[in-house]
Chain A
């Protein structure tokens, strides 16, 4: 679905692009070890012109980082017969587990509203895309979902947070929370000039467990019965050991 979206984006005829973008992520792979407590990444880029039309700003940059997609449900509690219970819910399919928008200025000032909608830059647009229906209820639940994701620091919108090292070179810091989902992350960088898109580039990095953490995870998925039996032995062994240690 994401690939399809990208393909659609690329087919949309833009203005004659004179600028191009060179960018990189500080680490293409974030490895999770036992002491993992979140990670900070840096994204660097440079806007390049051609010989005839050298790059000349002022440029604005929006970096959109999308984490692995998940199916989520947003539920609403209401009171019936004096008891609060979940009575209504909306499913969101292929919804980002992590979503960060980092911009060099206010989003409204950088790009036209049409471009912001077309590229689904605001988190609310992601909810709209993931909702299974387009009725008013899905809209409302989508807004609440985004609010909850922002509260849990899975969604981030940071305006005025792209550092320009020169008129064409920029750097962005990205912090991943400690409960970040594992999997592929997509970094989509858009360069704007006079509210028009002049260059864009996609790249990625991945977050995955390494060493013992990875071993445990793989074991729990591929050998669940054995994994369960090991858990039982561990529990009985630990209990027995404590019993022996405290024997008087």
Chain B
């Protein structure tokens, strides 16, 4: 069944949209990532103009993260105190990101910058996570008892001033690294059009030592807030949010996220992290290949913004 998308100005199959929304929503609920880094390239590949895809996916990520965050909230899997600090700082980061975006576009290097930063970011995060997850899995196999929280394992970040107690996370740490992570996630998110969940989850786990049971929920809540801000910014500045496209993706995404969150209960934290690492690495390799392999068609075309008619 075809449905016409008024902002994208083309028609697409309704079931295809709900289907990819659902598949990405499942992963989003499972890992606590937004899934934008998967959905946006999928839509562009299906013929949706890139600005519309980036802007509309924001809506879908907000919806599926809301649904995922709710189910974690009911299980007590969100540290609201920690999330508040992250949300405030990432909003500031997002504003800096929007400014950087304009500056890069003016310099004409936006496309290359986005591809390279995706590659570096995903590759770096994916590799780190993979190494850690494999090490944990092997240790478990060797019979070493692992705990979710590693007491006494402090790094230099825990020695910084302005310490705050996050009860839910059982942490007593400086607020400075928390704010720094928030600003960075907001900046990268606005720049690359992603929620940043795939960076935030490892940052919370490895840098702040947030226990696994609140990492995913807290990250999802942060993604919801981030995406709502970005959605409004996109609607006002680029005017390329297609509400129908977003809604079709949301329908699949929210349901998928529920199943993903339930499935997450049957997997251990280290298994989840290993799977997410695989996913992130796969996308990084895909980006890497497009940079390195000769393109099937060296020529491409695009409409210059400010279209007529």
Which residue of A74, A182, A225, A230 is within 8 Å of B300 (Cβ)? A74
Which residue of B69, B247, B298 is within 8 Å of A76 (Cβ)? B298
Residues from chain A with a CB closer than 8 A to the CB of B148 are none
Residues from chain A with a CB closer than 8 A to the CB of B298 are 76-78
B2–A239 touching, CB < 8 Å: no
Residues from chain B with a CB closer than 8 A to the CB of A70 are 303-304, 307-309
B243–A234 touching, CB < 8 Å: yes
Which residue of A68, A73, A79, A240 is within 8 Å of B308 (Cβ)? A68
A243–B295 touching, CB < 8 Å: no
A83–B291 touching, CB < 8 Å: yes
Q: Name the residue in B6, B65, B241 with the highest tally of chain A Cβ atoms < 10 Å from its Cβ.
A: B6
Restricting to B227-245, which residues have a CB under 8 Å from any CB of A?
227-228, 231-236, 239, 241, 243-244
Residues from chain B with a CB closer than 8 A to the CB of A86 are 111-112, 300
B3–A35 touching, CB < 8 Å: yes
Which residue of A85, A141, A225 is within 8 Å of B111 (Cβ)? A85
B67–A243 touching, CB < 8 Å: yes
A72–B301 touching, CB < 8 Å: yes
Cβ of B293 within 8 Å of any chain A Cβ, yes or no, is: yes
A75–B246 touching, CB < 8 Å: no
With A34-B4, A97-B309, A225-B236 in contact, do A240 and B66 touch (Cβ < 8 Å)? yes
Cβ of A221 within 8 Å of any chain B Cβ, yes or no, is: yes
Tell me, in angstroms, the Cα distance from A247 to B74 when the chains sit together: 9
Cβ of B255 within 8 Å of any chain A Cβ, yes or no, is: yes
Restricting to B264-301, which residues have a CB under 8 Å from any CB of A?
290-295, 297-301
Q: Which of B56-64, B87-95, B167-175 contacts A (4 or more CB under 8 A)?
A: B56-64
Residues from chain B with a CB closer than 8 A to the CB of A33 are 4
Nearest CB to that of A221 among chain B residues?
Answer: B239
Residues from chain B with a CB closer than 8 A to the CB of A232 are 59, 62, 228, 231-232
Nearest CB to that of A206 among chain B residues?
Answer: B309
Q: Which of A19-27, A105-113, A194-202, A211-219 contacts B (4 or more CB under 8 A)?
A: A211-219
Cβ of A18 within 8 Å of any chain B Cβ, yes or no, is: no
Residues from chain B with a CB closer than 8 A to the CB of A184 are 309
B6–A214 touching, CB < 8 Å: yes
Main secondary structure of the interface of B (DSSP, over half): helix
Tell me, in angstroms, the Cα distance from A69 to B307 when the chains sit together: 8
Cβ of A241 within 8 Å of any chain B Cβ, yes or no, is: yes
B62–A239 touching, CB < 8 Å: yes
B232–A75 touching, CB < 8 Å: no
Interface residues on B, range: 35 or more
A234–B239 touching, CB < 8 Å: no
Tell me, in angstroms, the Cα distance from A83 to B295 when the chains sit together: 11
Tell me, in angstroms, the Cα distance from A152 to B306 when the chains sit together: 21
Residues from chain B with a CB closer than 8 A to the CB of A58 are none
Closest CB of chain A to B68's CB: distance in Å?
8
Nearest CB to that of B232 among chain A residues?
Answer: A228
Residues from chain A with a CB closer than 8 A to the CB of B307 are 70-71, 181
Which residue of B4, B227, B239, B302 is within 8 Å of A235 (Cβ)? B227
Nearest CB to that of B1 among chain A residues?
Answer: A35
Tell me, in angstroms, the Cα distance from A235 to B62 when the chains sit together: 6
**Total residue contacts A-B, CB cutoff 8 A:** 211
Which residue of B7, B9, B63, B301 is within 8 Å of A239 (Cβ)? B63
Which residue of B115, B246, B299 is within 8 Å of A231 (Cβ)? B246
Residues from chain A with a CB closer than 8 A to the CB of B74 are 247
Residues from chain A with a CB closer than 8 A to the CB of B67 are 238-240, 242-243, 246
Residues from chain A with a CB closer than 8 A to the CB of B306 are 71
Q: Name the residue in A74, A83, A180 with the highest tally of chain B Cβ atoms < 10 Å from its Cβ.
A: A83
Closest CB of chain A to B248's CB: distance in Å?
11
Tell me, in angstroms, the Cα distance from A247 to B72 when the chains sit together: 11
Cβ of B76 within 8 Å of any chain A Cβ, yes or no, is: no
Q: Name the residue in B115, B246, B302 with the highest tally of chain A Cβ atoms < 10 Å from its Cβ.
A: B302
Tell me, in angstroms, the Cα distance from A84 to B300 when the chains sit together: 13
Tell me, in angstroms, the Cα distance from A190 to B47 when the chains sit together: 35
Tell me, in angstroms, the Cα distance from A225 to B241 when the chains sit together: 11
Restricting to B1-34, which residues have a CB under 8 Å from any CB of A?
2-4, 6-11
Closest 3 CB pairs of A and B: A68-B309, A239-B66, A183-B309
Chain A residues close to B by CB (< 8 Å): 32-38, 67-79, 82-86, 91, 94, 97, 141, 144-145, 147-149, 178-184, 209, 212-214, 216-217, 220-221, 224-225, 227-232, 234-236, 238-244, 246-247
| 11 pairs, CB–CB < 8 Å, chain A vs chain B | A35-B2, A35-B3, A74-B301, A83-B292, A84-B292, A178-B4, A181-B309, A228-B232, A228-B233, A235-B60, A238-B247
A182-B9, A238-B67 known; 15 other A-B pairs, CB under 8 Å? A69-B309, A70-B309, A74-B300, A75-B302, A76-B299, A217-B6, A220-B235, A221-B239, A225-B235, A235-B63, A238-B254, A239-B63, A240-B66, A242-B67, A243-B71
